[in-house]
Amino acid sequence: MNDQMLDPDSDDGSEDTGPVQQPRLWQGNGWTARVIKNDDDEGWAVAMYKDGEPEPALVGPWTMGRDKKNPKPLDTNAFNTLIKTASEVIRRHEQHMHAILHKNLYIFTEQGELKVTLDIVPDDDDPYAMLAATDEMGEQVARVRVAPTFKLTPSSAQAWVENDFRAPR
């Protein structure tokens, strides 16, 4: 093992200075807030980036400072509020994507109630969906691959069941 790796006081050129807390740039808790010039008008905006993400999760207007020319400096309270707001935006986006990609409904058959699910896999090269049926005991009774454009409706689910769970075309 390299001696430099064992010596915490060695100078390897990189310094861990802790979180950045500058008037226009704050980093911490997995987030970066950057105050930027608002291209749309004379004011300022703040962009919130989740660590590792190239695009901001949130961009919003930022308050002018007392001189009415420069932006108000970031502070702990503002940064924490921005984290909370950006996290909520991400959570809502994830919920929306889940609702788009995962559908389910219940139908009644001679054998009892079935839960029919459609799970879309948005693969860039080969998108598809899985259509599945589960009985009242939670046992999967059928599962087939379908086109990602398949529309799950009570009538399409009923037709699938009546067709002995063969993949719809």
Q: Which two tokens stand for residue 1?
A: 């093992």
Whole-number Å distance between alpha carbons of 74 and 25 = 7
User: Does 115 lie in the same domain as 78?
Assistant: no
**Shared domain check, 29 and 78:** yes
Which of 46, 67, 98 is the last residue before a domain boundary? 98
Backbone phi and psi for residue 46, each to the nearest 5 degrees, phi listed first: -125, 135
Neighbour order of strands in the sheet with 31-37: 21-22, 25-28, 31-37, 44-50, 58-62
Prediction pTM value: 0.69
Task: Report the domain count for the chain.
Answer: 2
> What is the span of the domain harbouring residue 139?
110-162
pLDDT in tens, the chain (169 residues): 444 444 444 444 445 556 789 999 999 999 999 999 987 777 899 999 999 999 999 999 999 988 888 999 999 999 999 999 999 999 999 999 999 999 999 999 988 999 999 999 999 899 999 999 999 999 999 999 999 999 999 999 999 999 999 998 7
CB 116 within 8 A of CB 135: no
Distance CA 79, CA 77 (A): 5
